[in-house]
Structure 1
């Protein structure tokens, strides 16, 4: 299972969280960044809908699969 870590960091003139190399928006307070990171982490764990997907591989072949929407990552918020 994949794990996504939301790390609280100083960013621009405030605070943000960073996950997989990407910064969130900047928050004016440390506490606001923590609240936002916890919300984002919780949303990441919510299962999605079962849907059919189509994709093309590098060799040009098309595939169809059913994605049950249950393969959600483990998440964590880190604050040093």
Structure 2
């Protein structure tokens, strides 16, 4: 199972959450950033519909897969502040 970890960080005079080096919008308070990360995490854990996906790997090859709607990642939020 895939595990996704959001990290709460200081950013641009406020707070944000980060995933794999990508930052969210900036929030005025720590709590606002934490609550936004929590909302995103809850959304990602909701089951969806089974769908076909196509993706390109780092070598430029395309892959076709079926993504089951109940195959949701494990989510965590790290807050080291």
Pair in the same fold by TM > 0.5: yes
Change in CA separation of 1:53 and 1:11 when aligned onto 2, cut-off 3 Å = closer
**2:59 corresponds to 1:73:** no
TM-score normalised by the chain length of structure 1:
0.79
**2:50 corresponds to 1:33:** no
The size of the alignment, in residue pairs, is 79
TM-score normalised by the chain length of structure 2:
0.79
SS of match in other structure, 2:6 = strand
Q: Which has the larger radius of gyration?
A: 1
The one-character-per-residue Cα deviations of 1:16-58 (angstroms, maximum 9, x if unpaired) are: 0001221000000011001001111111111111234466887
**Counterparts of 2:45 and 2:27, CA distance in 1:** 23
Matches for 1:38-77 after TM superposition, within 5 Å: 38-53=38-53, 66-77=66-77
| Structure 1 gap ranges (5+) | none
**Counterparts of 2:28 and 2:50, CA distance in 1:** 38
| Structure 2 gap ranges (5+) | none
Root mean square deviation, CA, Å: 2.4
